[in-house]
Structure 1
Amino acid sequence: MKIGVLILCYNNETDLNQQMIEELSAVAKNIKFCFVNNGSTDSTIDKLQILKEENESDITIIDIKINKGEGLAIKAGVRYFFNKINLQYIGFINFKDFNLKLNFNPLFDLILDSKDELIAYNSKPARSRKFKRLLIKNVFSLTDFFEYLKIDLKKEHLKTIA
């Protein structure tokens, strides 16, 4: 199963770090990542470019010059994945939803290990979801998916919601 993940950024210059990119690079062979800079007014795009160059990672960066909302940022990333990479599922998450102390590897390993749950979750009727489908039918919110799996993203370590 081919999975892409859009990470939406807005003024996250101070939050982006070398360790995070290294961790994403470690799982990038199984999951394709695309950072979408959504009109940041700080140096988020510069920091993303530096981190990408330093790691020679297969991570894509899309720069939207003016913030026109989360929906536009998601659509830009979905269009990129749709046109450049053949993926079965595309998840999106806002960078602010990540706890900065969170280890990314278990989080994305969880996605890969939860293929059956992802298929079941994605086959739920759209009316029972918190978001509307976008360009293609297999685009989903990672935040909602983790909530479905009873995973609390705000915890320092991945723990199930009590």
Structure 2
Amino acid sequence: MKIGIIIIFHNNETQIDKDFLIEQINAFETIELCFVDNDSKDQTLNLLQEIRESCISHVSIVEVKKNTSEDAAKRAGARYMYNQFNLKHIGFVNVAELHKKGQQLSSIIKNLSLNKIEVIDLNSRIIEEQDVKRTFFKSIFSLVDYLKNIKTNNTTNNLNPSI
């Protein structure tokens, strides 16, 4: 099952490890990435285009011409992914927020590749447990929150192994 991830960039040139991302993305078989450039004034868009050229089958770019809110950038990426792919599971990452929290995009991508099935399972469980069906835009999940939840559950399960 495929999963889509929207990655929002705004002047994040220094936080992009191009070679690592290309290596990881080329290893993805069932993950579609949508890079949303939120009106960057540095070389972010050029780096994203270089990554897309090396990983054309798994990477799309949406260029937002005017700096907008995280929600507006997320919606732009979601609209694109909705129109291009038939995906049940779409998450997002805001690189600027990662940087503020001292996290790296490369570690999130690595964790996604290691925990893709768990991310899909968690999203499926959350969808099933909802009394009211969410709208498309409200169903987009924070990849960082899901990975944190999975890490917490894995740690708890390791401390309390089932008998």
Q: TM-score, normalised by structure 2?
A: 0.76
Q: Structure 2 CA distance, aligned partners of 1:22 and 1:36?
A: 20
* Paired position in structure 1 for 2:70: 70
Per the alignment, do residues 78 and 147 of structure 1 end up closer, same or farther by CA in structure 2, a change over 3 Å counting? same
Amino acid at match of 1:83: N
**Amino acid of the structure 2 residue aligned with 1:58:** H
- Larger helix proportion of the pair: 2
Q: 1:53-132 maps to which residues of 2 (within 5 A)?
A: 53-96=53-96, 97=98, 98-100=103-105, 102=107, 104-125=109-130
Identity of aligned residues (%): 34
Tell me which residue corresponds to 2:2: 2
In the superposition, relative to structure 1, how do residues 76 and 101 fare at CA in structure 2: closer, same or farther (>3 Å)? closer
Distance 1:47 1:149, change over 3 A: same
SS at match of 2:66: coil
Three-state SS of the structure 2 residue aligned to 1:102 is helix
Closer/same/farther in 2, CA of residues 150 and 124 from structure 1, 3 Å limit: farther
**What is the aligned partner in structure 1 of residue 39 from structure 2?**
39
C-alpha distance in structure 1 between counterparts of 2:106 and 2:2, whole Å: 27
User: Match for residue 149 of structure 1?
Assistant: 150
Measured after TM superposition, the shift of residue 93 of structure 1 is: 0.8
The AA in structure 1 aligned to 2:112 is L
Cα separation, 2, equivalents of 1:90 and 1:67:
22
Q: Which amino acid aligns with 2:44?
A: T
Q: Is the 8 A contact 1:122 1:140 kept in 2?
A: no
Structure 1, unmatched stretches of 5+, are 128-132, 152-158
> Structure 1 residue 55: deviation in Å?
4.1
Separation in structure 1 between the aligned mates of residue 12 and residue 131 of structure 2, nearest angstrom: 31
Aligned to 1:22: 23
Contact 2:35/2:62, CA 8 A, preserved across alignment: yes
**2:124 is matched by which residue type in structure 1?**
I
The Cα of 1:140 is off from its aligned counterpart by 1.1
Aligned residue type for 2:104: N
Question: 1:38·1:67 contact (CA, 8 Å) conserved in 2?
Answer: yes
1:67-125 alpha-carbon deviations (Å, 9 max, x no partner): 11101110001101111110011101112424256273442330224433221234454
Mapped partners of 2:55, 2:149: distance in 1: 33
Task: Assess, with a 3 A threshold, how the Cα gap between structure 1 residues 46 and 65 changes in structure 2: closer, same or farther.
Answer: same
Structure 2 alignment gaps of length 5 or more: none
How big is the shift at 1:137? 5.2
Once the 2 structures are TM-superposed, how far is the Cα of residue 142 of structure 1 from its aligned partner?
A: 1.1
Whether contact under 8 Å (2:21, 2:106) holds in the other structure is no
